[in-house]
């Protein structure tokens, strides 16, 4: 993208050309499309989300206590990846590895292992580094623990 910065004055006056140029940089690369739904009424718009044809959708989930996943219990077939948040990034509480593993197991009761992505709710920019780093470390530890357990169960 740095090549485009030399053309910034031109792109300022021709924004459509900027978009075309930007997208052309990705031609020939395998690019995944991820979307995020934050505090949405996800269950009401699931069919529109499916029609978006994204590779992965991440959703706020921890504050809703997995209520947003009820649409999958009701038989909606969603073949792409889904990352329901495993902890609330806006909370000052740092979740333990065990708490996160418990949440992931609840999700695995609804979602297939091959479509589940493990991630926090929403972005990390509002969190303090001193809270975010241990929370992410615990999340990674929980994911590794469950991967090991699932592999040994096969």
Q: Burial letters for 113-134: b for 16+ Cβ neighbours within 10 Å, e otherwise?
A: eeebbbbbbbeeeebeeeebee
Query: What does the angle CA 64 – CA 58 – CA 151 come to, to the nearest 5 degrees?
Result: 95
Distance of CA 43 to the CA centre of its chain: 17
* 108, 149 contact by CB (below 8 A): no
Is residue 34 annotated as part of the catalytic site, yes or no? no
> Which residue in 14, 34, 36, 90 is the catalytic one?
90
* Look-up of token digits 């140029």: 21
Q: What amino acid positions are annotated as catalytic residues? A: 90
């Amino acid at each position: 993208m740095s090549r485009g910065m030399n053309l910034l004055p031109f792109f300022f006056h021709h924004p459509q050309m900027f978009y075309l140029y930007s997208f052309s940089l990705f031609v020939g690369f395998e690019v995944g499309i991820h979307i995020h739904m934050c505090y949405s009424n996800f269950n009401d718009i699931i069919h529109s989300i499916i029609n978006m044809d994204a590779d992965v959708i991440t959703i706020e989930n921890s504050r809703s206590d997995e209520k947003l996943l009820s649409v999958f219990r009701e038989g909606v077939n969603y073949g792409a990846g889904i990352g329901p948040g495993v902890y609330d990034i806006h909370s000052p509480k740092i979740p333990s590895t065990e708490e996160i593993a418990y949440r992931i197991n609840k999700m695995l009761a609804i979602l297939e292992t091959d479509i589940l992505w493990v991630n926090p709710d929403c972005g990390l920019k509002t969190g303090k580094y001193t809270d975010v780093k241990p929370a992410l470390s615990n999340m990674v530890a929980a994911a590794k623990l469950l991967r090991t357990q699932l592999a040994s169960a096969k």
